[in-house]
Amino acid sequence: MTTLVTIPGIMSDARTWAPVADVLQPHVSAIHVADTTQDATLPEMASRALAQTSGPLIVFAHSMGGRVAMEMGRQAPERIKAMILSSTSAEGPGANELEHRQTRIDAANADMTTYAANWAPKVLCKENAQNDALIAQIRQMVVDCGPEVHERQNLALLHRPDATTYIGDFPFPVLLITGDQDHLLTKEVHDAVAAKIPDATSLVLAGAGHLLPFEQPQAVSETVRNWLQEKSVI
């Protein structure tokens, strides 16, 4: 039977994919939440997820988690039945990324609560940035993550592999989804990734910024379930 592996993004946890996993639960034998808090590199995070599961996998991944998912696809392509990537990218680090990430790390290490309060509204669409309950949920999740994990994950992303060198070999279908107000990982970014994968679909969902699974859980659930059915995965 198939295991659904959910992979959260940076400073995130099981709350990322919980509503979507609930919808898909009847179609899989188990649900595994990947632990991205302990390892120093994305390949190590991927290896951990593979080692802690068995058999065929459907992988759901958001943002940083998408890079972990791609590494899983590189390390064990024969185990992946399908992959859903939300708001992610495939290229290696940018030229000025070190300074940018170090600024983030310093701010979080100085005061994680303030960092979380400032970060949450920036990654939501305009409407959801006014949703006090959603903001509170995201702030708490970031604070729960803690500065040490935040730093480790940022450094892992800073040294991420260039996935564009291997995603063209993926033998499984891939769905890329992003929000129509995601200014970090846009439709153009996803379309470029999809163009490199033999069997890939790129979709944009309305009413969401970068935290698509939090902002539109019902739309994400329906979109993913329909796509998995179309691909005869479930």
Considering the domain architecture, whether residues 209 and 118 belong to the same structural domain is answered as no
Q: Are residues 108 and 47 in the same domain?
A: no
If asked whether residues 130 and 217 sit together in one domain, one would say no
**In the prediction, which pLDDT does 193 show?**
98
- When divided into structural domains, the chain yields a total of 2
What is the model's pLDDT at position 57?
Answer: 98
Query: Is a pLDDT exceeding 90 seen at residue 1?
Result: no
How high is the pLDDT of residue 148? Answer: 97
Q: Average pLDDT of 6-29?
A: 96
Tens-place pLDDT, residues 190-231:
999 999 999 999 999 999 999 999 999 999 999 999 999 999
Indicate if 102 and 85 belong to the same structural domain.
no
17 and 29 within one domain: yes
This prediction has a pTM of 0.96
Of 129, 154, 179, the last residue of a domain is: 154
Give how far Cα 198 sits from Cα of 61, 62, 112, 172, 174, Å. 19, 21, 41, 8, 9
pLDDT tens for 160-176 read 999 999 999 999 999 99
Separation in Å, CA 84 to CA 20, 60, 129, 136, 178: 12, 5, 25, 27, 11
Examine the fold and report which residue of 154, 179, 197 is the final residue of a domain before the chain moves on.
154
Which pair of tokens denotes residue 223? 């979109």
Q: Do 20 and 123 lie in a common domain? A: no
73-91 per-position pLDDT tens digit: 999 999 999 999 999 999 9
**Which residue among 135, 154, 173 closes a domain?**
154
Q: What is the average pLDDT value for the chain, to the nearest integer?
A: 96
Instruction: Examine the pLDDT at 151 and tell me if it is beyond 90.
Output: yes
- Judge contact between 67 and 157, C-beta under 8 A: yes
pLDDT in tens, 52-72: 999 999 999 999 999 999 999
Residues 89 and 43 in one domain: yes
If one compares 63 and 95, the residue with the highest pLDDT of the two is 63
Residues 205 and 175 in one domain: yes
Same domain, 81 and 101: no
**What is the domain extent for residue 15?**
3-94+161-230
Say whether both 149 and 175 belong to one domain. no
Sequence-distant (6+) residues with CB within 8 A of 74 are 46, 163, 166
The enclosing domain of 11 has a CATH number of 3.40.50.1820
The answer on 90 and 7 residing in a single domain is: yes
**What was the pLDDT predicted at 94?**
87
Q: Kindly state the tokens that stand for 66.
A: 């998408």
Band of pLDDT at residue 95, cut at 50, 70 and 90? confident
Give the whole-angstrom CA distance, residue 14 versus residue 77: 24
In this structure, the answer to whether residues 64 and 166 fall within a common structural domain is: yes
